[in-house]
Amino acid sequence: MADEERAVDPSEIGESDAPPVEDAPYKLVFEANKCIAAGKCAEVSANWEMKLSTGIAKPDAYFFDETDLDHNVRAAEACPAKKDRGVIHVIDRRTNEEIAPDPEGDGTLSVDW
């Protein structure tokens, strides 16, 4: 299978620099190239900020635990990019399932790469 046809495995993204799963069982996969600078993520999550110089949102942390889960899920669900499918993805590193936005409802990573 050609590289461009290979499905993105959420368990591979960012893992080379990641903290142990036990310490940070959740991670963000962010399609920055598709960010439309609506700022909804920064409105609902302390982890997200809008960079006015670039017009793109940026998380302060890509890996986190239960204490930061709810507001990162809200950020993913509030993102209006990709016709409300969002470009912020919250992944459970233990199961490799997408928690949010999960538009298909089956836990598969909903990126468009």
Whether residue 106 lies inside any domain: the answer is no
Whether residue 33 lies inside any domain: the answer is yes
Q: In the chain, where do the E strands start and end?
A: 26-30, 48-51, 56-59, 63-64, 88-92, 97-100
- Domains held by the chain: number: 1
Whether residue 81 lies inside any domain: the answer is yes
Quick one: pLDDT at residue 112?
A: 83
Total residues found in the chain within this entry:
113
Dihedral-angle region of residue 55 (phi above 0 means left; psi in -120 to 50 means alpha; beta otherwise): left
Whether residue 20 lies inside any domain: the answer is yes
Whether residue 112 lies inside any domain: the answer is no
Query: Helix, strand, or coil here: 4?
Result: helix
Which of the 8 DSSP states describes residue 15?
Answer: G
User: Which residues form the domain of 29?
Assistant: 3-100
- CATH number where 86 lies: 3.30.70.20
Q: What is the dihedral of CA 71, 74, 75, 80, to 10 degrees?
A: -170
For the stretch 76-103, pLDDT in tens is: 999 999 999 999 999 999 999 999 999 9
Whether residue 39 lies inside any domain: the answer is yes
Whether residue 91 lies inside any domain: the answer is yes
Quick one: pLDDT at residue 6?
A: 66
Quick one: pLDDT at residue 13?
A: 87
Quick one: pLDDT at residue 2?
A: 52
What are 35's two structure tokens? 């960010």
Whether residue 110 lies inside any domain: the answer is no
Q: Which residues of the chain have pLDDT under 70?
A: 1-6
